[in-house]
Amino acid sequence: CKILRCNSEYVAATLHLRGPSRGAAFCTALRSYSLCTRRTARTCRGDLAFHSAVHGIEDLMIQNNCSKEGPTAPPRPRPPAPNPQGFESLDVCDYERSFLYKHGRPPGFQHCAAFGDPHIRTFHDDFHTCRVEGSWPLLDNDYLFVQATSSPVAKGSNATVTSKLTIIFKNMKECIDQKVYQAELDNIPAAFQDGSVKGGVRPGGSSLMIWERSPGRHVEIRADYIGTTIAVRQAGRQLSFSIRTAEEVAQAFTEEQDLQLCVGGCPHSQRMSRSPRGHGRVPAETARALCREMLPVEDVYFQSCVFDVVTSGDTNFTMAARGALEDARLFLPNAEKLHIFQ
């Protein structure tokens, strides 16, 4: 069965195709991929990777409106492998490319966010507003540990905001040294704790990089070796966290790692209603008008914005909800799930 050769030829043909203009060339590559799988169908009938590739091609052709009839490209000559592992060794620190090579389809992704009060959007699109004062893990798996530290949004308030974020990228052979990133209010560095901006001196060190999107306000960390992108922002007196990560990475944890706000949301005892009782620091109608300017759709991001402005009196919280919505728009694998209504 030569399905891995078909996979690698497809990867080579589409590696540099990006954005909306890729259309015709992408369809040509898909038809070539389909032709390659048909040629090896007899010897691959019992191979799971083969069947995964066939279904993946069908899905991609539908999603990209590709015709089954049309030109195909001759297979590219394969470069000689520098060692017995060949392609897989070269791409062990590029998760998406490696996954596509092995499975014949792109990986699935999940999104989680924590912002404002904090409000948690879990990997399963559940949405909670949490009390959670102190330090709580957002993620705790084989690849990542993320901890958020919260403190009261205002004196005497039950509501809390994230004031510190600690992110640990765990040591991964061939790719990166262990790296720790830490952000606090008014201190969002564009570097890891050791002063570096990438994953170290290993061959795949550049598969972990930090980018400063807005000085002192917004950084993005790309961990290509685990198919993960993280955004850390400050708006007003709170930090926010957003992540897009491969499903395989999000699910790589044991029963002992059972407390992860991104996986299970906040515990029942820590959940709050987004309808604050009593007198807030800003009238509810004023908060609604401010939030509507930033968030025209009255979904959970809008409700969270109103809650935060009423509770804290800080109009900068409109930017926190807007930033979380922008991250979700970029990070969500399914755009139809952008808005959540409760």
> Are both 43 and 117 inside the same structural domain?
no
> Are both 153 and 236 inside the same structural domain?
yes
Average pLDDT over residues 8-28: 78
Flag whether 325 is in a domain.
no
pLDDT at residue number 179 = 96
Is the pLDDT at 29 greater than 50? The verdict is yes
26 vs 19, more confident: 26
> Are both 127 and 239 inside the same structural domain?
yes
Flag whether 324 is in a domain.
no
Flag whether 285 is in a domain.
no
- Whether 64 contacts 26, CB under 8 Å: yes
> Are both 131 and 263 inside the same structural domain?
yes
Count up the domains in the chain and report the number.
2
* Domain final position from 64, 83, 100: 64
Q: What CATH code is carried by the domain that includes residue 125?
A: 3.40.1000.10
* Domain final position from 213, 246, 268: 268
Q: Give the domain range for residue 28.
A: 2-64
Flag whether 320 is in a domain.
no
pLDDT at residue number 331 = 95
> Are both 233 and 176 inside the same structural domain?
yes
> Are both 218 and 142 inside the same structural domain?
yes
> Are both 60 and 184 inside the same structural domain?
no
* Domain final position from 216, 247, 268: 268
- Measured CA distances, 106 to 7, 230, 316 (Å): 11, 19, 38
> Are both 130 and 223 inside the same structural domain?
yes
* pLDDT tens-digit map of 219-243: 999 999 999 999 999 998 899 999 9
Flag whether 288 is in a domain.
no
- Look over the chain and give the mean of its residue pLDDT values, rounded to a whole number: 87
pLDDT at residue number 279 = 57
- Provide φ and ψ at 260, rounded to 5°: -140, 115
Is the pLDDT at 299 greater than 90? The verdict is yes
Which residue carries 């798996």 as its tokens? Answer: 141
Instruction: Find the helix or strand (DSSP H, E) in which 13 lies.
Output: helix 3-14
Average pLDDT over residues 297-307: 95
- DSSP H helices, 209-299, are 247-250, 261-264, 284-294
Flag whether 281 is in a domain.
no
> Are both 151 and 258 inside the same structural domain?
yes
> Are both 242 and 135 inside the same structural domain?
yes
> Are both 120 and 261 inside the same structural domain?
yes
> Are both 114 and 205 inside the same structural domain?
yes
**CA–CA separation, 288 and 238 (whole Å):** 20
* pLDDT tens-digit map of 152-174: 876 766 668 899 999 999 999 88
Flag whether 296 is in a domain.
no
Flag whether 150 is in a domain.
yes
